[in-house]
């Protein structure tokens, strides 16, 4: 992979994007891209974003007729709430702001927090959630729901055209939700991706095999099969989409064949030819084709198929002009039946105060997490997408641990820790750890950081986390460690146990809770997408919580 360094990979790439486009500007604090030219007064502004590594999604679709702003996260990690809030404030011109969000916990959570902050600014904001991936669809509706994948491009194009036409926020939201509800996708990989700086791919896939039902964050799929001929592969990808949308003969669709990063255009065109023939056989009419690389998973070799049921209103918006640099210069407005196969040839800053014992707790824990980053990353690679350790480092490397020990008060230390997570880690872990430590900051700010204050903070943090993320004990998350720790603290308060003993009891309870996750199958977070493959691996978030209480004992 071409890079200057893994740490600067994303900002280095953004420099090139901005230098090579006419209507994109970069705001590094806190980090978002906008159109260089402001919208007319009263027009709906549209913000999207997500983890980097999916390019040209989202930054390549900034321009007239599509997006107004984009918030990039770290590789495969959602942007944080502060990025989204500032971007939304900057581009609002009185018509309100629409957030187009892929259905991943971190994205949903951080965009949701941003809309809470926008309400404080008296800015109207709404959301269109994209959840098109049928591979993550559960018949009983449990779990986090379908992932958001390639249909995001279709939603962004239609909503952008509606906003450019002058539709109100409510009207843009309505048409966007119609499109999102009418879209389904499924993907396949021939080879996994490798993250910048990593020495191993995101999962192992032997030569000669395909992984069906993969996601766009390097997750393994739902089924591994020997390599299939293209016609059979297209049927395996398309049938679940048709079934989920309940498509029948006579239905009209936009058909998207999308490359996942390392797939040649000839392969994509070949898959589209097979898709066109298969849908023709079913009597499903392709109104508009879109073939190319739009939503990627870094260097993954693979492709996805997306079908979107459409009507004349959606097609009018699809055909509207668009100046986004990654949108095709001359997208097809008609579809011709696929010809005989033999006819094809090659077309080729924080305040400081007096230090106290609580700061050592925070600093000791932060140092331990930094030291254990490789182990945490390995745990997450085996059960999720391998980004947990790097997300921890992204937050904790913002802290001056020496200054924290020497000159921070406990409240300042927890404030610094909370802001580091909320502003730098991104993703689910950034939001949840950020709000968890926010409650300790609030408790420490009351003057006495005694056992009652610690217990109050832990209980409030637990309640907030379960409200935000929906996780419960047994879901294989950090909650499995927090719940027994909080229960131990509350029992210690009732029985008059000393501070140090209570923290040790909480640490022991948290460790037991973390160890229990080894036997669990995840119901929340990205580990939930890999099912039984996550069994036998301790949840890294739960382990980090156990370390937190362990470091608190003695301070």
Placement of tokens 């977070």 in the chain? 525
User: Cβ(524)–Cβ(105) under 8 Å?
Assistant: yes
Note whether 53 and 296 are within 8 A (CB). Answer: yes
Three-class SS state of 191: strand
Residue linked to tokens 């901005």: 18
Could you give phi then psi for residue 178, rounded to 5 degrees?
-60, -45
- What is the rounded CA–CA span in Å between residue 232 and residue 525? 32
d(CA 319, CA 256): 15
Q: What is the C-alpha to C-alpha distance for residues 498 and 349, in angstroms, rounded to an integer? A: 35
Q: Which of 54, 85, 99, 217 is catalytic?
A: 217
Tokens coding 127 = 């959301």
Identify whether 58 is a catalytic site residue.
no
Query: How many angstroms separate the CA atoms of 118 and 333, rounded?
Result: 38
Residue 73 to residue 109: CA distance in whole angstroms: 14
Q: For the residues of 463-508, what is the DSSP string, one character each?
A: HHHHHHH---TTSSSTHHHHHHHHHHHHHHHHHT--HHHHHHHHHH
Q: Give the Cα separation of 482 and 464 in Å (integer).
A: 12
Type and span of the H or E element at 190: strand 183-191
Which residues participate in catalysis according to the annotation?
Answer: 217
């Amino acid at each position: 992979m071409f890079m200057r360094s893994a740490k600067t990979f994303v900002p280095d790439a953004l420099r090139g994007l901005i230098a090579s486009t006419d209507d994109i500007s970069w705001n590094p604090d806190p980090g978002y891209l906008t159109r260089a030219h402001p919208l007319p007064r009263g027009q709906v502004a549209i913000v999207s974003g997500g983890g980097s590594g999916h390019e040209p999604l989202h930054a390549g679709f900034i321009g007239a007729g599509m997006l107004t702003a984009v918030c990039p996260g770290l590789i495969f990690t959602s942007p944080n709430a502060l990025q989204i809030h500032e971007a939304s404030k900057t581009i609002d011109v009185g018509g309100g702001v629409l957030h187009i969000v892929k259905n991943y916990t971190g994205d949903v959570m951080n965009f949701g927090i941003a809309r809470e902050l926008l309400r404080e600014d008296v800015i109207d904001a709404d959301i269109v959630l994209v959840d098109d991936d049928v591979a993550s669809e559960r018949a009983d509706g449990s779990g986090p729901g379908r992932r958001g994948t390639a249909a995001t491009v279709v939603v962004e194009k239609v909503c952008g055209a509606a906003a450019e036409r002058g539709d109100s926020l409510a009207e843009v939201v309505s048409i966007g939700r119609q499109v999102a509800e009418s879209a389904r996708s499924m993907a396949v990989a021939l080879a996994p991706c490798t993250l910048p700086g990593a020495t191993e791919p995101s999962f192992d896939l032997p030569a000669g095999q395909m992984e069906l039902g993969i996601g766009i964050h390097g997750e393994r799929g739902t089924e591994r099969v020997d390599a299939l001929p293209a016609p059979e592969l297209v049927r395996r990808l398309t049938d679940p989409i048709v079934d989920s949308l309940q498509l029948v003969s006579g239905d009209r669709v936009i058909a998207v064949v999308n490359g996942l990063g390392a797939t040649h255009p000839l392969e994509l065109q070949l898959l589209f030819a097979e898709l066109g023939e298969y849908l023709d056989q079913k009597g499903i009419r392709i109104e508009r084709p879109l073939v190319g690389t739009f939503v990627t998973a870094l260097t993954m070799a693979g492709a996805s198929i997306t079908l979107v049921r459409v009507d004349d209103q959606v097609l009018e918006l699809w055909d509207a002009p668009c100046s986004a640099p990654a949108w095709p210069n001359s997208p097809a407005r008609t579809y011709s039946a696929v010809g005989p196969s033999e006819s094809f040839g090659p077309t080729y800053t924080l305040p400081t105060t007096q230090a106290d014992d609580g700061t050592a707790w925070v600093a000791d824990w932060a140092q331990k997490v930094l030291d254990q980053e490789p182990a945490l990353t390995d745990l997450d690679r085996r059960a999720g997408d391998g980004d947990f350790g790097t997300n921890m480092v992204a937050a904790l490397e913002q802290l001056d641990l020496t200054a924290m020990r020497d000159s921070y008060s406990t409240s300042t230390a927890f404030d610094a820790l909370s802001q580091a997570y909320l502003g730098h880690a991104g993703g689910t872990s950034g939001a949840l750890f950020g709000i968890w430590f926010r409650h300790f900051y609030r408790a420490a700010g009351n003057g006495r950081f005694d056992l009652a204050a610690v217990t109050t903070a832990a209980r409030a943090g637990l309640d907030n986390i379960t409200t935000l993320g929906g996780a419960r004990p047994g879901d294989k998350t950090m909650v499995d460690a927090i719940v027994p720790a909080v229960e131990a603290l509350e029992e210690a308060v009732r029985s008059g146990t000393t501070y140090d003993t209570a923290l040790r009891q909480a640490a022991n309870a948290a460790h037991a809770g973390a160890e229990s996750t080894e036997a669990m199958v995840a119901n929340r977070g990205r580990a939930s997408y890999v099912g039984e493959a996550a069994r036998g691996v301790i949840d890294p978030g739960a382990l980090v919580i156990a370390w937190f209480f362990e470091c608190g004992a003695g301070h």
